[in-house]
Amino acid sequence: MKQIACAVIVSTLLASAAAVAQQARPTTGDRPDLSGTWAIFPGVNASSALRREAAGTEETRRLDRTGIRGAVGQGRGALPWTAAPSYKPEFQAKVQDLDARQSKTDPVFYCGKPGVPRVGPPRRIIQLPNEVVFFYEDMSGDPYRIIPTDGRPHRASANPSSYGDAVGRWDGNTLVIDVRNFVDDTWFGEKGYFHTDAMRVTERLWRDGDNLVWQATVDDPNVLTAPWTMAPRMVRRSTQALEESPPCRETDGPLLRNDDHHDQR
C-alpha cells in the first residue's frame, strides 16, 4: 500500500514538473519557430577587409557580404518582386532629385530612424504563442517591436510612428505582418523613396531551412501606381549576441563638397 502511495506521489510530482517545464518553455504550436539571432549588420561596407599586423604576423579579415543585409533575392517561396517601386508620374522627378541628393536629403543619413520596412529583417526574434518580439541593432537607436498574433485589431488610438502599428497572423508557415499608422518623414528605401502617412507595409517572414527570409510589400496609393514588393532577404543564424549601438553623431553635413554617396539600407 505504501509503495502504491509513493508511486502515486512520484508520478504526480513528475506530471507537475512536466507541466511547469511546458509553461516555462513557450510553445509555438504547429507554427515554424522564427525565434533566434540572425546575422544582419546594417551600415557596414561589405567591399572591404581589415589587415592586422602584429609581432611579424599578418592577418586579413574579410566581411561576409551576406551578413550585411542578408542574401538579397534569395529565399524559396518568395513573392514575385521588382527592383523599384512605380511612382505616379507627378512624383517621379521628386524621387529622382531626393535620390541624387540623398547625402543631404536622407533622414537616415543624419542618424534618423529608418522605420519599416527600411530597417529590414530583425536581428533577434522571440516568438511567443500570442505575439512575436523583434529586436534590431540600428545606429539611430536599437528599436524593438512587439507584434500581437492573437487576432486583435490595430490599435485605434496609437500615435503615428516610424515603425508603425503592427498586427501579425499566420498564413500557413509564413508570418504575415500588417503595418500602418506611419509618420511621413521616413523613406521606405534608400533611393529617395518617400511616402505619405497613408503608407501600409506587409512584411512576410518564413523559414527556408535553417535560414530566415524576410520580404516586404509597400503600398501608398497617394504616390505609388501599385503596391511594390521588394526583393526578399535571406539571413542566416548568428552566434554574435546583440550589442547596444553606439550613439550616432553625424557632423560631416556642412563639409560635403558634392553629392557623392553610398547607399545605406
17-25, 80-88, 126-134, 202-210 -> range binding another protein (CB under 8 A): 80-88
Q: Alpha-carbon distance 232 to 120, whole Å?
A: 10
60-68, 128-136, 149-157, 165-173 -> range binding another protein (CB under 8 A): 60-68
**255 binds another protein, rule: CB under 8 A:** yes
Q: Cell numbers at residue 20, please?
A: 511547469
**46 binds another protein, rule: CB under 8 A:** yes
Grid cell 581589415 is found at: 50
Binding mask 137-176 for another protein (x = CB under 8 A): x-x-------------------------------------
Cβ–Cβ under 8 Å, residues 164 and 179: yes
Residue 64 Cβ vs another protein, minimum distance, rounded to whole Å: 8
Q: Cell numbers at residue 219, please?
A: 503600398
SS3 for 206?
strand
Q: Alpha-carbon distance 138 to 45, whole Å?
A: 15
Closest CA to 171 of 33, 27, 28, 31: 31
CB-nearer residue toward another protein: 5 or 83: 83
Which of 28, 81, 105, 227 lies at the binding interface for another protein (CB under 8 A)?
81
Cβ–Cβ under 8 Å, residues 78 and 232: yes
**243 binds another protein, rule: CB under 8 A:** yes
Question: Which spans of this chain sit near another protein (rule: CB under 8 A)?
Answer: 41-55, 60-63, 67-69, 72-73, 80-83, 103, 109, 111, 137, 139, 231, 243, 245-250, 252, 255-265
